[in-house]
Structure 1
Amino acid sequence: MAKTLLDLVKECDSFPYFEDNAEYYLSHLKNYHAFKVNGCDAVLGYLPNTIVEKFHWIENDWQVDATSRTVTLMAAPGATPKARTEIMSRLLAEAVRRQTFEVLNGWRHEMYPIYGPGGEFLLEMERSASPLFGITTYGVHMTGYVEDEQGIKFWVARRSKTKQTFPNMLDNTAAGGMSTGEHPYACAIREAAEEASIPESVFAERAKSTGVVTYFYIRDARAGGETGLLQPEVEYIYDVQLDASHVIKPCDSEVEDFRLWTLDEVKESLKRGEWKPNCATVMIDFFIRHGILTAENEKDYMEIVARIHRRLPFPTATYN
């Protein structure tokens, strides 16, 4: 059965909404422990109860309260980000040693930031572990396209068959996660070169920053590792209009190939559910911004627009 655009958005923004059913939402939250840092009142993420049970919590480093369903990193109030990070790193190193979580088999040696209210940098953690804590993560996605008198065509990537996450699914032209201290534009330049062989000079001339997409994803089997982990994300979006003569080619092992597809070909592949969930959402965002998807031709337009710009329940940072 063909998937609607709203179906695709719901796959990506899959965490329930309080406004839809308050009783169900509050009941659903009982499946999680809130992640907190000593001295900071904000909730920074959600860990599934099943994940909390599997961790070997290090005494004095962590406080786990089953009654309030909280997991608190117990650095001294006002501790440095480095001190908090060391506590997190000890916990994850022990989990790796014990082979506790499948998701950690994809250890990336990349650090993701965790922010408190007002964008305060609290600590950082290994990228592959971030879904275990359900923290907000940040990334960039870009859509390379060609437009002429015959219409618009998109450079669509096919993910590698051996990739740990979402193997063989369709992807945006280039995308990637933002490490601690990395700016969206710098990340986009790096990913464009690494994944799509787009030189920095071409990106600088032709790329346009077009906003952000936000969603709250519950990981399924396609994501690799444990299912049911939470992945709230902020994705900075770039459009890159290229010359027809500019051919996109894979530059690393993460991309199987690229194909230049018409709008109709992209739409049909979306209906077949061939796209990585957040990449489908980025394409839908492109359709909205370019007047391809409108309130006049899509009955679910308002809900689609709202759900790809979700207000996340955790503190977030902005990048100026």
Structure 2
Amino acid sequence: MTQTHQFRSLLEVVNHCDDFPLPGKDLKAYTARVNSLYHFRVGGDATTLGFVLPEVASKLARCAGWDANDKTTPRTLTLSGGHDHASRSEIIKKTMTYFKNKRTFGVLEKWRGELKPCYGSRGTVLFSIERSAFPLLGIVAYGVMLVAYTRNERGGVKGLWVQRRSREARTHAGLLDGTAAGGVPIHKKPLTTLINEAEEEASFSRDLVGRRAKACGTLSYFHTRRKEMGGEVGLLQPGVHFLYDMEVPEDVEPRSNDTNVEGFELMDPDRLRWEILAGNVKPWFALAVIDFFVRHGIIHEENERDFIEISMRLHRHLEFPVFGVSFLINLLN
């Protein structure tokens, strides 16, 4: 198991996942951190799409179609080649394939062959990028998280179905995770992704999830990658997860259908809270559980000292294009 942290409070858990400096709490630290990084942009657009470590920017700048400028504040890394989704994606593919073959970056050792989108300021997809490569550019990742749960005879939450990640999983080996979860690939919508992940990981039928899963909003955070994720430490990973709850009867149980899932356990809220504080839970699933606890009244203003701050921090304002992103439109418009 990759557990390395123990926490004294749920707010510490939030701080662990959403650990990039907050301008509202410490503007000096935030400014210093932002100015120490390269701002990733696409040629012809001044919008910052992500933050890139200097050592990564210097390597990318040596490749065709990329330019770095360290004479400005902030410093910039620009994908200068390409003029549309297809041509930009081809440059990205060639660049990342080159580094994969050269074994330059550890994160590329986990190459998935799955493409994820990068959205621009107007919500359009600027390019597609291999899933394992997106942390190198610090762009926003979109994912889904399902929490299946049961109720007791009084109507309260009896237990949450959590999966135990395999000890051989690429990241967060052995930790607890959502009933089903995964990244939203290019061309896919969140609910479609959720249905696929629930079938793949938990053996839930597509009909069951389609009928019972309820959208419950999002959580957002800005995480700095640590060693338990594999690859380079310190890469920036802002994320948005679409959350879904699914109440199930007691005779419906998830079953492992994925080599990355060791098994499932129905945990009561008190036990799961203990596991979170013990550091045995994947960071963004810990946030999803805390959000679940808030929405279901398990934690509230009378039993949680940091309730107001926790509730606000689960929905971080990200400084990258997210507000124009819509899954109602054709993703490649």
TM-score by structure 1 length? 0.96
Does 2:11 match 1:3?
A: no
Q: Verify the 8 A CA contact 1:56 1:94 in the aligned structure 2.
A: no
The one-character-per-residue Cα deviations of 1:108-159 (angstroms, maximum 9, x if unpaired) are 0011101111202111100100111000010100101111217511111100
Determine the structure 2 residue equivalent to 1:39: 44
Inter-partner Cα distance in structure 2 for 1:116 and 1:54: 24
Give 1:89's aligned amino acid.
K
Partner deviation per Cα, 1:213-262 (whole Å, 9 max, x = no partner): 11111111111111101111110000011110012110110111101111
Task: Give the whole-Å Cα distance in 1 for the aligned partners of 2:16 and 2:77.
Answer: 28
Q: Which residue of 2 aligns with 1:174?
A: 180
Q: Secondary structure at the match of 2:122?
A: helix
1:157 aligns with 2:163: yes
Deviation at 1:57, TM superposition (A): 2.4
Structure 2 distance, partners of 1:98, 1:245, is 51
Given that 2:7 and 2:13 are in contact with CA atoms closer than 8 Å, whether structure 1 keeps it comes out as no
**Secondary structure at the residue paired with 2:211?**
helix
The one-letter amino acid paired with 1:145 is Y
Once the two structures are TM-superposed, the CA of residue 40 in structure 1 deviates from its matched residue by 1.4
Answer whether contact 1:56 1:95 (CA < 8 A) is retained: no
Matching residue within 262, 275, 283 for 2:289? 283
Deviant stretches of 4+, over 2 Å: 53-57
Amino acid at match of 1:166: H
2:115 matches 1:107: no
- The answer on 1:238 being equivalent to 2:249 is no
Q: Which residue of 2 aligns with 1:24?
A: 29
Cα separation, 1, equivalents of 2:8 and 2:177: 17
Whether the 8 Å CA contact 1:155–1:260 is kept in 2: the answer is yes
The answer on whether the counterparts of 1:57 and 1:91 sit within 8 Å (CA) in structure 2 is: no
Structure 1 SS opposite 2:28:
helix
Structure 1 residue 2: deviation in Å?
4.4
Match status 1:93 vs 2:97? yes
| Count of residue pairs the alignment pairs up | 317
Q: Judging changes above 3 Å, is the alpha-carbon distance between structure 1 residues 2 and 114 closer, same or farther for their aligned structure 2 residues?
A: closer
Contact 2:61 2:67 in 1 (8 A): no
In structure 2, runs of 5+ residues without a counterpart are: 1-5, 329-333
Q: CA deviation at 1:41?
A: 1.7
Contact 2:117 2:185 in 1 (8 A): yes
Map of 1:241-256 to 2, 5 A cutoff? Answer: 241-256=247-262
Question: How far apart, in 2, do the equivalents of 1:168 and 1:46 lie?
Answer: 29
**Contact 2:61 2:68 survives alignment (8 Å):** no
Change in 2 beyond 3 A, CA 1:170/1:180: same
Q: Distance in 1 between matches of 2:7 and 2:41?
A: 41
Where 1:64 maps in the other structure, the secondary structure is strand
**1:1-320 equivalent positions in 2, closer than 5 A:** 2-55=7-60, 57-59=62-64, 61-68=65-72, 69-75=75-81, 79-149=83-153, 151=156, 152-316=158-322, 317-320=325-328
How many angstroms does 1:44 deviate by?
0.4
135-144 or 49-58, larger mean C-alpha shift? 49-58
How far is the alpha carbon of 1:56 from its aligned partner? 6.2
- State the alpha-carbon separation in 1 of the partners of residues 251 and 138 from structure 2: 42
> Counterpart of 2:51 in structure 1: which amino acid?
Y
In 2, Cα distance between the equivalents of 1:89 and 1:192?
29
Report if aligned partners of 1:56, 1:91 keep a CA contact under 8 Å in 2: no
Q: Displacement, 1:96? A: 1.1
Q: CA deviation at 1:87?
A: 1.1
Q: 3-state SS of the aligned residue for 2:265?
A: strand
Give the RMSD, CA atoms, in angstroms: 1.3
What SS does structure 2 have at the residue aligned with 1:280? helix
Matched residues in 2 for 1:24 and 1:111: separation?
34
The answer to whether the Cα contact below 8 Å between 2:116 and 2:129 also exists between their aligned partners in 1 is: yes
- Distance in 2 between residues matched to 1:261 and 1:175, nearest whole Å: 18
Name whichever of 222-231 and 25-34 sits farther off. Answer: 25-34
- Displacement after TM superposition at 1:295 (Å): 1.6
Preserved contact between residue 197 and residue 248 of structure 1 (Cα < 8 Å):
yes
